[in-house]
Structure 1
Amino acid sequence: MDTNILDKYAKTLMDYALFIEEGDYLVIQGYPEAMPLMERCYRIALQKGANPQVLLRHQLDEILLKEGSDKQLAFESPVAEAVMKNVTKLLNIGGTSNTKYLSGVDPKRIAYYRKSGERISQIHRERVERKESDWCLCMYPTNALAQEAGMSLRDYEAFIEKACLLDREDPIAAWQEVQRSQQKIVDYLTGKKTLEIRSEDTHITMSVEDRIWINSDGHTNFPSGEVFTAPVEDSVEGHIRFSYPGIYAGQEIEDIRLTFEKGKVVEAKASKGEGLLQALIQTDQGASRVGEVAIGTNYGIQQFTRNMLYDEKIGGTVHLALGSAYGKSGGKNKSAIHWDMLCDMKQGGDIYADGILFYQNGKFIDKPVR
């Protein structure tokens, strides 16, 4: 990645996405491939008077998942617990040399392993809700991610630049404009009681009464570009077909079709990877319910990349997440998973709020109609 773009990337992450301040305990997690970005973020954090620490990620959990006992899979790391109890800013940088390294692992063991880490994850979620900590997820371009997206590395780097608005002269000002634009959508949806989504092989309804719509404007996720909330837990009804593959732990599940009754998945089918789909839904009681409903607004992202950080933001799509809800949206669903699945709305898709059509064919309508 071009050094000037890397400098912009790090500055935007530190000054806008996480807003690093003096005295912050910043933990940067990433794979060795992302060291150029980690180094720049580390240096900026020092200049700001923060206390940065780097924790390198690895792919050795493949060995644990294949060879470890159930007791070892369930082990709670005291190091991870100490980090989650004390960190004030957490930056996770994705980008590895092999996105398929868990493809040979039994899906049930993956689900069990994820569930075993739930208590420690919950510690951090509760601190975030109390505004004691904050976090951000971003990606560093690698050959593996580029191959997943069907691009060359140079093209993938250009894709990230555009998606993150790093191609702008002042990316922070550009993201501030995104915040203002999306807030108009949030203001419109605030106070609405029902949501209805129609598209090909999809007709789903839910209550969003008394729930909080969130303007996702490049802080928790970078890039971002979505508005979202949590449906009332027992209100989701109908059926939905996800247009794009669902990606979990590097494995693909294709042509996912879910049917809901009283908020719970009662039927789940897939043309590929149905075993993993069923295992994930059975992770725990909350895994079969919707923790998030969202509308993607980043029209700078138009290509499916098999990376949900980008894909769920595609302008002209909606997505549902099975599992844990974000507390700031008013959601109460708890689960060890939060798994986003994506539905294209650009060919005949409609969204209604309280019976009023406000979104059609992948775009918001200037004047909503009943």
Structure 2
Amino acid sequence: MASKETKLERYADLLIRVGINLQEGQTLIINAPITEAGFVAQLTEKAYDAGASNVMVEYSDEKLTRLKMEKAPEEGLKNYPQWKANGLVEMAKNNAAVLNLAAPNPTLLKGIDAKRIAMANKASGEAFREYQPFITGGRISWLIAAVPTKSWAKTVFPDLSEKEAVDELWEKIFYTTRVDQENPVQLWEKHIENMTKNADHLNDRGFRKLHYKGPGTDFSVNLHPKSKWICAQFTNDQGVNFVPNLPTEEVFTIPVRDSVNGTVSSTKPLNYSGNLINNFSLTFKDGKVMEFSAEEGYETLRELLETDEGSSFLGELALVPHNSPISNTDIIFNNTLFDENASCHIALGNALSICVENGKDMSREELKEIGFNESLAHVDFMIGSEQLNIDGEREDGSMEPIFRNGNWAF
């Protein structure tokens, strides 16, 4: 068995070589918790070895985040520094790559007024409006990966000590990203090839409507002829492939904005803005959420839905087999990067232009004509289980099973 040091080395290598696929002379921006400076240094060394011209690191601190939400005046929450967003736009135009190390603490903002959190989220969303298409359109290389902070690890393994919880979470990250095995880069190339085959199959079938049925879930949604199914690997404006999520198991597309009808129920908790939303359901009519409920996090869910007009419509449909590495751990990670890749999921809010044929070159008006949803928010939540069935309907009304009992039916 490989040592932890060997697996950390492989993991850092995987993030730089496969996730970002950093190119000679490229700038890399790393966003990370300040507690994980050691691993960030390892990534930085890998980046320079791969030919990076510059590595810029932006650290975050949980205590400072909570203090701002507790004590800042509303005016401070409503105003995000535009210069910071403008800097990212400038760097994106110069082909900088972005690596986000995600370690969200699901109880970080527990007890904070949901309206204050919503103010801050909306302010940052508006500030980054020009930057957002670089990400959702796959125009630059970007990656979300994970590092196990003490606060996150303890929510996943509450019965272990902090050190034991962090060590155990590292092992789960190594397992789900395949770096616990020899030659993980080659393993990921094979995995991407298999997911691409599933996406190609769905595109070849020409489905124009999907029907979902599972515990608490019964809804239908239309697909536009210009939308397409894609999977793990994107190609940026320079023609370079990258993998924006590690780990990833999803094949996904976008819905027609006004076509969603029926009810969906969550199957895993959603960690959103430092709070958990759990056991919730949404009822859609002509695309919009008309009714909703939640056993936990109701106010947080309400503020999410009220972010703007588009946040109460869907922007993504993602298929993930129940029989997959993350799902098979049988662990609730309280981290959407992992939980969404253990379960079929859908997303409230902004659609992804990368899922539209020639979407990068289409205007906002052209995208809206094909049912593209626009929002400051994009929040994935899990609806999959071993009981979920999905059928695809073609233009002529003929039906074909896509998922049966939570897994691919083909």
TM-score, structure 2 length as denominator?
0.84
Contact 1:223/1:310, CA 8 A, preserved across alignment: yes
Counterpart among 53, 58, 74 of residue 56 in structure 2 = 53
Task: Name 2:407's counterpart in structure 1.
Answer: 363
Give me the CA root mean square deviation: 1.9
Task: Name 1:138's counterpart in structure 2.
Answer: 145
State which drifts further: 350-359 or 98-107.
98-107
State which drifts further: 71-80 or 252-261.
71-80
Deviation (angstroms), 1:155:
2.0
Please state if 1:321 is matched with 2:337: no
Deviations 1:125-151 (A, max 9, x none): 223466652211111122222222126
State which drifts further: 331-340 or 42-51.
331-340
Secondary structure of 1:117's partner? helix
Q: Distance in 2 between matches of 1:161 and 1:131?
A: 26
Q: Distance in 2 between matches of 1:6 and 1:294?
A: 29
Contact 1:312/1:342, CA 8 A, preserved across alignment: yes
Q: Distance in 1 between matches of 2:192 and 2:201?
A: 14
Q: Spell out the pairing of 1:115-194 with structure 2 (5 A cutoff).
A: 115-128=122-135, 132-150=139-157, 152-190=165-203, 191-194=206-209
Task: Name 1:67's counterpart in structure 2.
Answer: 71
Task: Name 2:396's counterpart in structure 1.
Answer: none
State which drifts further: 167-176 or 291-300.
291-300
Secondary structure of 1:256's partner? strand
The AA in structure 2 aligned to 1:334 is E
The AA in structure 1 aligned to 2:79 is F
The AA in structure 1 aligned to 2:87 is A
State which drifts further: 156-165 or 323-332.
323-332
Please state if 1:30 is matched with 2:32: yes
Q: Distance in 2 between matches of 1:154 and 1:80?
A: 35
Deviation (angstroms), 1:261:
0.4
Task: Name 1:249's counterpart in structure 2.
Answer: 273
Deviation (angstroms), 1:56:
1.0
State which drifts further: 180-189 or 330-339.
330-339
Higher helix share: 2
Task: Name 1:266's counterpart in structure 2.
Answer: 290
Contact 2:138/2:354, CA 8 A, preserved across alignment: no
Secondary structure of 1:188's partner? helix
Counterpart among 253, 276, 300 of residue 325 in structure 2 = 300
Task: Name 2:117's counterpart in structure 1.
Answer: 110
Counterpart among 344, 363, 384 of residue 344 in structure 1 = 384
The AA in structure 2 aligned to 1:81 is N
The AA in structure 2 aligned to 1:352 is D
Task: Name 1:205's counterpart in structure 2.
Answer: 220
Task: Name 1:93's counterpart in structure 2.
Answer: 101
Q: Distance in 2 between matches of 1:114 and 1:146?
A: 25
Counterpart among 204, 211, 215 of residue 231 in structure 2 = 215
The AA in structure 2 aligned to 1:157 is W
Cα gap change, 1:131 to 1:266, in 2 (>3 Å): closer
Q: Distance in 1 between matches of 2:282 and 2:21?
A: 39
Contact 2:265/2:383, CA 8 A, preserved across alignment: yes
Deviations 1:26-63 (A, max 9, x none): 11110122222211111121123311111111231322
Secondary structure of 2:344's partner? strand
Contact 2:402/2:409, CA 8 A, preserved across alignment: yes
Unmatched runs of 5 consecutive residues or more in structure 1: none
Deviations 1:100-132 (A, max 9, x none): 221121111111211111233332222346665
Q: Distance in 2 between matches of 1:41 and 1:32?
A: 14
Secondary structure of 2:258's partner? coil
Q: Distance in 1 between matches of 2:148 and 2:291?
A: 37
Q: Distance in 1 between matches of 2:336 and 2:98?
A: 19
Contact 2:315/2:350, CA 8 A, preserved across alignment: yes
Deviation (angstroms), 1:209:
2.1
Contact 2:85/2:128, CA 8 A, preserved across alignment: no
Deviations 1:235-270 (A, max 9, x none): 001011112222211211221111000000000011
Count of aligned pairs between the two proteins: 362
Q: Distance in 2 between matches of 1:222 and 1:124?
A: 22
State which drifts further: 284-293 or 114-123.
114-123
Contact 1:84/1:120, CA 8 A, preserved across alignment: no
Contact 2:12/2:43, CA 8 A, preserved across alignment: yes
